[in-house]
C-alpha cells in the first residue's frame, strides 16, 4: 500500500529539550495509525509538525510525494491534511451552526462571499449534529464537542486527518461509542490518532507507533502494544 504522508528525520527542540528527535514514519492510504507513549514523549509535537502548526528544526514532510515541510497549516488543509485538537478549539458562546459557518469561511480564506448553508448542513448532518445546530457549543457534552471539532476538520474533505487524543475528557463508558461513530464516518480517510487508552488503540488502529523521549522506538500491530513500555 502506498504512503500518503511521510516524515523524514524530523527534529524539533524547545529550549534545548528535544521534543521530536529524528522521527521518520509513513502513513499509508486509508490506514489508521495510532501514536502512543507517555506524557512528554513528543506525540502532540509530532502532530503539530505534520499539520503545519509548527515548523521542524530539520527534516522533511511529504504528502503524496510532494514536499510540504515549509507549507503552513492552512496550505496543508487545502492540500488534504487536517487535524483536531486535544482540547477542542471551539467558540463556546456561539452556536453549533455558527462554529460550522466559521470553519467553512476559514477554508475559503474568509472571503466576503456568503457561506453556503448546504456546506454547513453537510458538515453537521454527517456527524449527527444538525438537530443541535442552534444550541450554544458550551451546552454540549464533552463527547459532542469532540465530535463537532472533528466535523469541522472534515469540512475540508481531508485525505489525512490527525486526531489528538479524541477520547480525552470523554466519559469512559462513551469512548468506544464515540470512536465507532467517528471512524464510521471517515471511510477512506487516513487517520493518525494520538491516544492513551490502549483498549481504544487495540480496537481501532491498524498499526501503532510507540514514542519515547521524542523518538519512535517501534511500530507494531495493535495486539502487541501492551508488551511495549508505554
For residues 180-188, average pLDDT = 86
110: confidence class by pLDDT, cuts 50, 70, 90: very low
According to the per-residue pLDDT averaged within each range, which of 8-12, 87-91, 122-126 is highest?
8-12
More reliable by pLDDT, 205 or 228: 205
Cβ contact 86:164 at 8 Å: yes
**Bridge partners of 5?**
27, 63
Please check whether residue 99 is in contact with residue 90, taking contact to mean a CB–CB distance below 8 angstroms. Answer: yes
* pLDDT mean over 4-32: 96
For 37-71, how does the pLDDT look when each residue is reduced to its tens digit (9 = 90+)? 998 899 999 999 999 999 999 999 999 999 999 99
**With bands split at pLDDT 50, 70 and 90, how would you rate the model's confidence at 88?**
low
Q: Which fold, 3-90+159-227?
A: Rossmann fold (3.40.50)
pLDDT at residue 160 in the model: 95
Angle at 27 between CA 82 and CA 57, to 5 degrees: 70
Range of 75-84, 125-134, 148-157, 211-220 with top mean pLDDT: 211-220
Up-side HSE of residue 189: CA atoms within 13 Å toward CB? 25
- Residues facing residue 26 across a β-bridge: 6
- In this prediction, residue 84 has a pLDDT band, given cuts at 50, 70 and 90, of confident
More confident residue, 196 or 155: 196
pLDDT value at 173 more than 60: yes
Question: DSSP states of the chain as a string?
Answer: --EEEEEEEEEEEETTEEEEEEEEEEEETT-EEEEE--TTSSHHHHHHHHHTSS--SEEEEEETTEE-TT--HHHHHHHTEEE--SS----TTSBHHHHHHHHHHHHTTS-SSPPPHHHHHHHHHHTT-GGGTTSBGGGS-HHHHHHHHHHHHHTT--SEEEEESTTTTS-GGGHHHHHHHHHHT-TT-EEEEE-S-HHHHHHH-SEEEEEETTEEEEEE-GGGGGGS--
pTM of the model: 0.86
Amino acid at each position: 500500500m502506498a504512503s500518503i504522508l511521510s516524515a523524514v528525520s524530523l527534529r524539533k527542540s524547545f529550549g534545548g529539550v528535544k521534543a521530536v528527535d529524528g522521527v521518520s514514519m509513513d502513513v499509508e492510504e486509508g490506514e489508521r495509525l495510532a501514536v502512543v507513549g507517555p506524557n512528554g514523549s513528543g506525540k502532540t509535537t509530532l502532530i503539530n509538525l505534520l499539520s503545519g502548526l509548527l515548523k521542524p528544526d530539520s527534516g522533511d514532510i511529504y504528502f503524496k510525494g510532494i514536499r510540504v515541510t515549509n507549507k503552513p497549516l492552512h496550505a496543508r488543509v487545502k492540500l488534504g491534511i487536517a487535524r483536531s485538537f486535544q482540547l477542542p478549539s471551539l467558540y463556546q458562546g456561539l452556536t453549533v451552526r455558527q462554529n460550522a459557518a466559521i470553519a467553512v469561511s476559514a477554508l475559503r480564506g474568509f472571503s466576503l462571499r456568503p457561506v453556503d448553508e448546504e456546506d454547513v448542513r453537510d458538515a453537521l448532518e454527517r456527524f449527527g449534529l444538525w438537530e443541535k445546530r442552534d444550541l450554544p457549543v458550551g451546552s454540549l457534552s464533552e463527547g459532542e464537542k469532540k465530535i463537532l471539532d472533528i466535523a469541522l476538520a472534515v469540512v475540508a474533505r481531508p485525505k489525512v486527518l490527525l486526531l489528538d487524543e479524541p477520547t480525552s475528557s470523554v466519559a469512559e463508558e462513551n469512548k468506544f461509542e464515540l470512536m465507532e461513530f467517528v471512524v464510521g464516518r471517515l471511510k477512506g480517510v487516513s487517520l493518525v490518532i494520538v491516544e492513551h487508552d490502549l483498549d481504544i488503540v487495540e480496537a481501532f488502529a491498524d498499526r501503532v507507533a510507540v514514542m519515547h523521549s521524542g523518538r519512535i522506538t517501534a511500530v507494531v500491530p495493535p495486539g502487541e502494544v501492551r508488551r511495549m513500555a508505554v
